[in-house]
C-alpha cells in the first residue's frame, strides 16, 4: 500500500480494494495489491470497509494502525485484574510493551490486519464489561463472525458454557449481516457462500510455512500432501470437541478470559489456514501469566510458552533471501521449527487446564503459608473485568491474597 514497501499494509490494501469493488459481481474473481491477492472475506465486510475508501490511503493507514494499537490496549485491559487505576494502567502498559514483541501482534500491525479488533469484539462480548451491559450478549460475536468467519467457533463456545440465548443472538446477528451482504451484492454473495467459502486454497497454500494450523504442519511434514477431507474433518472435530470441553472446565474453575483463550487457540489449531497474525490471543495469555496468582514454576512455564510466539523461529533461521526461499520449501529442516505454533498452542491450552485444576498453582499469602490456587482462581474470575454477577462463579474471600498480590481498587471489592 505504501510506495516502495509493498508488503506494508498489504492486507489493508486488499480490504480497501475489495471495499471499492463491493458492488462488482466478480468481486471474488479480482486480484488486488502488488502480489495479486483475492478478497476472501464475506461481502458485508467489504461493505463495512467501504467508507474508508473515501479517505486518502495514508490517512487510512495511520488511523488503522492507531486503531489496532488501541485494540491491543483494550484487549489487555479486559484481561487484566481489577486493580486500583494507577496499578492497572501500569500493568497494562508493561504487558503491552512486551506484547509488541510477539510475532502475531507485529504481523497484524505490519500487514494492516483486523485480528486485534475482532479479538476485542469477542472478548468484550464474553466478559461483558459494564459499558456494554445494555447490549444483548452474543451480538458482538455475531458481528465479528460476519466480518471474518473464524470467530464462529465462539458461537459453539457460548453454547458449551451454557449461554444459549447469547449463542442464538450471535447466530441471528451473523445471518442478518450476511443478509445485508446479499442485499448489497447478490451475485458476489452467491459466489462467496456457494464456492469461495469452501475453497481452502483460495486463502493460500495449506503447506505454506506461515500457516501454523495442524493441517498446515501435517501437509508440510507429508511433503506438501494434505490428508483426505474425511480424515482431516475427523481429526479437526476431535480436537475442537476436546478444546470446547476444556474451555467449559476452565470457565467454571478459572474464569471467562482464560476459557476464551482455550477455545480461541483450539479454533486456530483446527482451522484449515491459521496465519501467524491470527494468534494475537497470545497477548491476553501473557496478561494471564503475569497477573494471576500461581507458583513460580507455573509462571515460568507460562512465560516459556508465550516466548515461543516471540521467537519467530522460521524467519530467525532465514538470514538471507536464499535461506528464506529454502525455508518456504516443503520438506526442509526448517519444517521442524515450523511446528512451533502448534506445539505452543497445545501447551498453552494444557497450561490453562492445569492452572484450572488448582493442583499446581499454590502461592504464598505473604506470611509463609500456602493458599490453594483453586481459591485464588475464583478471585481471578471476578478480577478479569466487570462480569455479570448472575453468571459469574462465587468469589472466594481471601483478604490476605488481596493485600499481598496486587493493590486492588476499593470500588471493585
Asked whether residue 399 carries a pLDDT value surpassing 60, the answer given is: no
Instruction: Report pLDDT for 385.
Output: 40
| Mean predicted confidence (pLDDT) in 127-156 | 91
171, pLDDT greater than 90? yes
Mean pLDDT of 57-85: 93
- In angstroms, the CA 399 to CA 20 distance is 57
CB atoms within 10 A of CB 63: 12
Report strand pairing: 370-371 vs 363-364.
antiparallel
Q: What is the pLDDT of residues 84-124, one digit of tens each?
A: 899 999 999 999 999 999 999 999 999 999 999 999 999 99
> pLDDT tens digits for 356-378?
998 765 333 332 333 334 434 44
- 38, β-bridge pairs: 31
Task: Report the distance separating Cα 289 and Cα 276, nearest Å.
Answer: 21
Cα–Cα dist 160/114, whole Å: 27
CA-angle at 87, arms to 82 and 89, nearest 5°: 85
Position 215 pLDDT exceeds 70:
yes
Q: Comparing 171 with 23, which gets the higher pLDDT?
A: 171
Stretch 156-179: mean pLDDT: 96
pLDDT in tens, 332-356: 556 666 788 999 999 999 999 999 9
Distances (CA, A) of 79 to 38, 73, 228, 334, 395: 34, 10, 39, 34, 17
For the cut 70, the answer to whether the pLDDT of residue 18 exceeds it is yes
Mean pLDDT score, 188-213: 80
3-class state of residue 63 by DSSP? helix
Higher-confidence position of 270 and 407: 270
Higher pLDDT, 252 or 227: 252
Instruction: Give CA–CA dist 41/27, Å, rounded.
Output: 11
- What pLDDT is stored for residue 387 in this prediction? 40
Mean pLDDT, range 212-221, rounded to an integer = 85
In the chain, % of residues over pLDDT 70 = 77
pLDDT value at 287 more than 90 = yes
26: pLDDT strictly greater than 90: no
For residue 335, what is its C-alpha cell? Answer: 519444517
The ranges assigned to domains in the chain are 10-412
Query: What span, in angstroms and rounded, lies between the C-alpha atoms of 29 and 59?
Result: 28
> What is residue 332's three-state secondary structure?
coil
Residue 29 scores a pLDDT above 90: no
Q: Output the pLDDT for position 223.
A: 73
- Check whether 256 has a pLDDT greater than 60: yes
Please give the average per-residue pLDDT across 391-409, as a whole number.
37
State the average pLDDT for the chain: 81
CA dist 139 and 3 (Å) reads 39
DSSP letters, 184-222, are H-HHHHHHHHHTGGG-HHHH--TTSTTB-SHHHHHHHHT
Q: Is the pLDDT of residue 264 over 50?
A: yes
* 122 close to 141: Cβ distance less than 8 angstroms: yes
| From 2-11, 167-176, 372-381, the region with the lowest mean pLDDT | 372-381
Instruction: State residue 166's pLDDT score.
Output: 95
Residues 6+ apart with CB under 8 A from 364: 370, 371, 404
Amino acid at each position: 500500500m505504501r510506495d516502495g514497501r509493498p508488503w506494508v499494509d498489504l492486507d489493508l490494501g486488499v480490504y480497501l480494494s475489495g471495499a471499492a469493488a463491493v458492488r462488482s459481481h466478480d468481486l471474488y474473481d479480482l486480484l488486488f495489491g502488488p502480489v495479486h491477492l483475492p478478497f476472501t472475506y464475506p461481502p458485508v465486510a467489504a461493505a463495512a470497509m467501504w467508507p474508508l475508501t473515501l479517505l486518502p490511503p495514508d490517512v487510512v493507514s495511520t488511523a488503522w494502525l492507531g486503531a489496532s494499537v488501541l485494540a491491543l490496549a483494550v484487549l489487555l485491559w479486559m484481561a487484566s485484574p481489577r486493580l486500583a487505576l494507577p496499578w492497572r494502567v501500569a500493568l497494562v502498559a508493561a504487558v503491552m510493551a512486551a506484547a509488541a514483541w510477539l510475532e502475531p501482534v507485529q504481523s497484524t500491525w505490519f500487514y494492516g490486519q483486523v485480528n486485534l479488533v475482532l479479538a476485542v469484539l469477542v472478548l468484550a462480548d464474553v466478559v461483558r464489561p459494564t459499558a456494554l451491559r445494555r447490549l444483548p450478549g452474543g451480538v458482538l460475536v455475531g458481528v465479528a463472525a460476519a466480518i471474518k468467519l473464524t470467530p464462529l467457533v465462539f458461537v459453539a463456545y457460548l453454547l458449551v458454557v451454557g449461554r444459549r440465548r447469547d449463542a442464538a443472538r450471535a447466530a441471528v446477528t451473523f445471518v442478518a449481516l450476511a443478509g445485508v451482504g446479499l442485499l448489497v451484492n447478490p451475485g458476489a454473495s452467491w459466489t462467496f457462500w456457494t464456492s469461495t467459502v469452501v475453497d481452502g486454497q483460495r486463502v493460500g497454500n495449506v503447506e505454506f510455512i506461515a500457516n501454523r494450523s495442524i493441517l498446515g504442519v501435517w501437509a508440510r511434514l507429508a511433503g506438501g500432501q494434505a490428508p483426505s477431507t474425511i480424515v482431516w474433518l475427523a481429526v479437526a472435530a476431535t480436537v475442537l470437541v476436546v478444546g470446547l470441553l476444556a474451555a467449559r472446565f476452565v470457565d467454571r474453575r478459572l474464569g471467562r478470559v482464560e476459557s476464551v483463550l482455550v477455545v480461541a487457540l483450539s479454533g486456530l489449531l483446527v482451522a484449515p489456514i491459521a496465519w501467524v497474525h491470527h494468534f494475537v490471543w497470545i497477548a491476553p495469555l501473557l496478561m494471564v501469566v503475569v497477573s494471576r496468582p500461581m507458583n513460580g514454576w507455573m509462571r515460568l512455564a507460562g512465560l516459556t510458552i508465550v516466548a515461543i510466539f516471540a521467537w519467530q523461529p522460521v524467519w530467525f533461521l532465514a538470514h538471507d533471501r536464499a535461506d528464506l526461499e529454502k525455508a518456504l520449501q516443503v520438506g526442509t529442516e526448517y519444517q521442524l521449527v515450523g511446528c512451533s505454533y502448534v506445539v505452543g498452542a497445545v501447551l498453552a491450552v494444557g497450561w490453562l487446564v492445569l492452572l484450572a485444576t488448582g493442583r499446581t498453582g499454590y502461592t504464598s499469602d505473604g506470611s509463609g503459608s500456602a493458599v490453594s490456587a483453586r481459591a485464588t482462581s475464583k478471585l481471578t474470575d471476578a478480577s478479569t473485568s466487570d462480569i455479570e454477577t448472575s453468571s459469574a462463579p462465587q468469589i472466594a474471600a481471601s483478604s490476605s491474597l488481596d493485600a499481598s498480590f496486587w493493590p486492588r481498587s476499593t470500588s471493585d471489592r
